[in-house]
Amino acid sequence: MTDDANISQVDEIAEDAVLTSDKDVSQSPILDPEEIEALMASMEPMEQAEALFASLPPLKQPKNIQPYAFETGEVDGPARYPLFVNLQERMAEFLKDQWSDTFNREVGVAFDRMLEEAYRDIITDEKPRVFFAYTVEGCGPMMLAFDISLIVAHVDAMLGGEGEACGEVPKTLSPVERRLSERIAKSLEKHLETAWDPVTALDFELLKIDTDPQFLSVAGATENCFSMYFNIQLDEKTTGGFALYYPRTFLEPMLDNLRSTVSDAVVVDEEWQTAMEQSLSTVSIPMILRLGECEMTIEQFLRLSEGDYLPFQINEGEPVTLWADEIPMFQAQAGSQDGMLAAEIINKLP
């Protein structure tokens, strides 16, 4: 064998040895499991978490990130209560009919918007308006508001005029306009009661009429109100706004009912009602004649035996209670009939 052949063979053997060495190094872990466990034990939990996240490949980030806006008070606003919205629209219809009669012409009332807003935002509106504050027993106060030009025009129509608000819009009412506004308030009171009839009977009572809502104290400054806004068109020249404001405390007792989508009175299915009554009339009810009650200690109870008497502390012949299931219904006299224990009903319990 020549020297060149020997050199070539030695090179091949050396190259194979290097490749084998590299392969073994790449496949074998740098640290043994025991060494990794000992290393991790010496690190705090937070450091371990940071080390794990650092070993992960970087996450691909989006190119455009839009800011996220959290929902505001509109989530639980008037829109969630369809029947409430319907009632306020009924109120607007009543107002339209009554004002059309007063003005002797068609008056337009159009829904504008609804929202939930803090009471302080309502009373800080600088637009000249007339506020009618009402109260309902058990619910509290609420109020209506009209642009002052609408009330001035309404008073003019009541006095036989054309129902116009000429000249510069006033910021307050004259004594005559304020006095006649009380008649307007009474008609509004009836409209409110009629509009709420499908849900519950409410007795609205006028508290005050004022052009400055700061002194009405219908709600706390930060309390939210359900606000309904309408536009009123008296003629081609005269338009104005009308609003209803209900504090949440006023509506709280009725919110569950106001989630309903049914606005009219419920139609009774007489055939179904008769079938239901007939079905219910066959249901059995356990009747229990409770002759008396007594108390004793556990020791006394454990000593009870055949022939013992229990003191019920009720006089012989005294009426006892007759129960229907778990409800006390009648006073009865215990007795017998045809050899069987019986109860004679004396009167019905309230």
pLDDT in tens, 165-183: 666 777 888 888 889 999 9
Whole-angstrom Cα distance, residue 188 to residue 194?
10
In this structure, of 21-35, 240-254, 295-309, the range with the lowest mean pLDDT score is 21-35
Tokens encoding 61: 């980030």
> What are residue 28's phi and psi, to 5 degrees?
-90, 140
pLDDT band of 260, cuts 50, 70, 90: low
pLDDT band of 10, cuts 50, 70, 90: very low
- Going along the chain from its start, the domains and CATH numbers come out as 77-258 (3.40.1550.10), 284-348 (2.30.330.10)
Measuring CA to CA, which residue among 172, 174, 241 is closest to residue 211?
Answer: 172
Query: Which amino acid does the sequence have at 24?
Result: D
Whole-angstrom Cα distance, residue 300 to residue 308?
11
Give the length of the chain.
350
Helix (H, G, I), strand (E, B) or coil at 173: coil
| Global pTM value | 0.54
Which distant-in-sequence residues (6+ apart) come within 8 Å of 154 by Cβ? Answer: 99, 102, 103, 163, 184
pLDDT in tens, 102-123: 888 899 998 888 899 999 898 8
160: left (phi over 0), alpha (psi -120 to 50) or beta: left
Q: What is the chain's alpha carbon radius of gyration, rounded to the nearest angstrom?
A: 42
Percent of the chain scoring above 90 in pLDDT: 21
pLDDT in tens, 37-50: 777 666 667 777 77
